[in-house]
Chain A
Amino acid sequence: MSEIYELRVNGVDYPVTADANRNLSGVLRDELGLTGTKEGCDDCECGACMVLLDGQPINSCSYLAAQAQGREISTVEGLMDRDEMHPLQTNILECGGVQCGFCTPGMLMSAHALLERTPEPSLEEIKVGLSGNLCRCTGYGTIFEAVAAASKVEKVEP
């Protein structure tokens, strides 16, 4: 039987009608059209589906959409400020941290949560913060660099 509820994504309330067993990444992508969030493994392993729930990263492929009611969901679509890219986005491009790009939305969301909590992370803290995100292309070094560079930009902004 379908459940009817609301999901709050990037500050916008969306009405949802979906079966209770639907996963959050599926509802975001197929019902709400928010395809920035990727599905890689659909098995809680790769982190391509990472979104934030009340500011904390979760694997949306393995989280029931119905369980996210009443919480703030943040996806990669919410990172930009109008047409201005987020410092994490500009830095990941500048540092060469995007190749095929499939892991990028998940990486950005994990990194965003990390910098909100730890504005000046050490390299070890960056590695732990991104430890649930796999990248098959870059070898990670450029992504770590981008997060470190973005942390310096974010610091001077209010």
Chain B
Amino acid sequence: MSFVIATSVEEALAALANGASPIAGGTDLVVGARHGKFELPPELVAIDRIEALATIEIGADSMRIGSGVTHATLMADPAIVGSYTAVADAAALVGSPATRNVGTIGGNIMNASPAMDTGAPLVVLGASVELARVGSSRVVPIGDLWSGPGQTTASADELCTAVLVPSRPAASGTAYVRLEYRRAMEIAVVGAAAAVELADDGSISAVAVALSAVAPTIISIEIEPADVERGSVAEAASQQCSPITDLRASDRYRRHCVGVIASRAVDAAARRAAGESIAVPVNRALGIGAA
């Protein structure tokens, strides 16, 4: 086994080209390996000291979130909380303070668990992912990143360097809600992110919903403003998912609950779009999770 600590993106890319695997916070990688899910990769390159990966940059028409930004930063950063509130809702729910201090957004999306919390918010925000390898880089829509549970379309020598999120229109709001049985050290039983835009008369002009933990990857559902008016968000979400049964919940329970959670997410996003301030994470305002 070998372990090197990279201090620049170039150094990390060179290590990946030579067969090393990246480790950021290690909260999936080390925990999974110690648990016996898989072996720790024989060559590791630590990317948590690379300053260029740990920054959030606000551009003219988008925000660039470095892959090494931690959940602790995401949940408290004023620009994220202000413009991409659903991402902050999600980050604030991850694990415990210890998990959030070292766990990163890059690790969360590259680990590709269908229950990951930042994935659904990034889908409704229309985010894309920057993947770099020695000599080249490419940008892919985040929905194209995941190919199955724990699987991505990135190749082994590609490093996720950043997540790019387009700027939000003025009268808009987002929210991420998850069903959890307790308030810490939990993973989503099901989760839903919503983004809502309002027209001048206050009616909903656009809506997007994505779901976690109810399909092999995060899924985006087909939904229109008329569905919100008709009160059929829950039905749409329940119909369009394909959940499994495991020790945390049955497929039927997940299918039902994801509808409830999706309609609460749309409602919270619409309230935020209308200017109401609902603290992060919105789960607490909704009273979800035993105290």
A residues sitting closer than 8 Å to B (CB atoms) are 1, 3, 19-21, 23, 42-45, 47, 50, 53, 56-59, 61-64, 66-67, 69-70, 110, 113-114, 128-129, 131-133
Contacts of B101 in A (CB 8 A): 53, 56-58
In the complex, how many angstroms separate the beta carbon of B258 from the nearest chain A beta carbon?
25
A132 touches B5 (CB 8 A): no
Q: Which of B9-17, B50-58, B92-100, B247-255 contacts A (4 or more CB under 8 A)?
A: B92-100
Instruction: Taking A21-B1, A53-B101, A56-B101 as given, write out 12 further A-B residue pairs in contact, using a Cβ cutoff of 8 Å, ordered by the A residue number.
Output: A42-B34, A56-B72, A58-B98, A62-B27, A63-B26, A63-B102, A64-B3, A66-B3, A70-B5, A110-B97, A129-B97, A131-B185
CA distance A128 to B184 in the complex (A): 8
B40 touches A128 (CB 8 A): no
- In this complex, the member of B26, B35, B40, B72 whose beta carbon has the largest number of chain A beta carbons within 10 angstroms is B26
Residue of B nearest to A61 (CB): B34
**Main secondary structure on B side of the interface with A:** mixed
Is the CB of B112 closer than 8 A to any CB of chain A?
A: no
CA distance A114 to B96 in the complex (A): 13
Is the CB of B2 closer than 8 A to any CB of chain A?
A: yes
Contacts of A3 in B (CB 8 A): 2-3
Contacts of A20 in B (CB 8 A): 1-3, 44
Residue of B nearest to A56 (CB): B101
B35 touches A43 (CB 8 A): yes
B97 touches A131 (CB 8 A): yes
Contacts of B40 in A (CB 8 A): 21
B95 touches A23 (CB 8 A): no
A132 touches B95 (CB 8 A): yes
Residue of A nearest to B1 (CB): A20
A19 touches B1 (CB 8 A): yes
B34 touches A131 (CB 8 A): no
Contacts of A61 in B (CB 8 A): 34
B102 touches A44 (CB 8 A): no
Contacts of B139 in A (CB 8 A): none
With A62-B30, A64-B3, A132-B185 in contact, do A50 and B98 touch (Cβ < 8 Å)? yes
A64 touches B98 (CB 8 A): no
With A44-B99, A56-B101 in contact, do A63 and B3 touch (Cβ < 8 Å)? no
With A44-B27, A132-B184 in contact, do A1 and B1 touch (Cβ < 8 Å)? yes
Is the CB of B127 closer than 8 A to any CB of chain A?
A: no
A-B contact pairs, 13 of them (CB 8 A): A1-B2, A21-B33, A56-B98, A57-B101, A58-B102, A62-B30, A64-B3, A66-B3, A67-B23, A70-B5, A110-B97, A129-B97, A132-B184
Residue of B nearest to A43 (CB): B35
CA distance A47 to B97 in the complex (A): 11
In the complex, how many angstroms separate the beta carbon of B130 from the nearest chain A beta carbon?
24
B98 touches A132 (CB 8 A): yes
- In this complex, the member of A44, A110, A129 whose beta carbon has the largest number of chain B beta carbons within 10 angstroms is A44
Contacts of B46 in A (CB 8 A): 67
Residue of A nearest to B184 (CB): A131
User: Quick one: CB contact mask for B98-112 with A, threshold 8 Å, 1 for yes?
Assistant: 110110000000000
Contacts of B98 in A (CB 8 A): 47, 50, 56-59, 110, 132
With A62-B26, A67-B26, A70-B5 in contact, do A128 and B31 touch (Cβ < 8 Å)? no
B97 touches A132 (CB 8 A): yes
In the complex, how many angstroms separate the beta carbon of B36 from the nearest chain A beta carbon?
10
Is the CB of B183 closer than 8 A to any CB of chain A?
A: yes
In the complex, how many angstroms separate the beta carbon of B72 from the nearest chain A beta carbon?
8
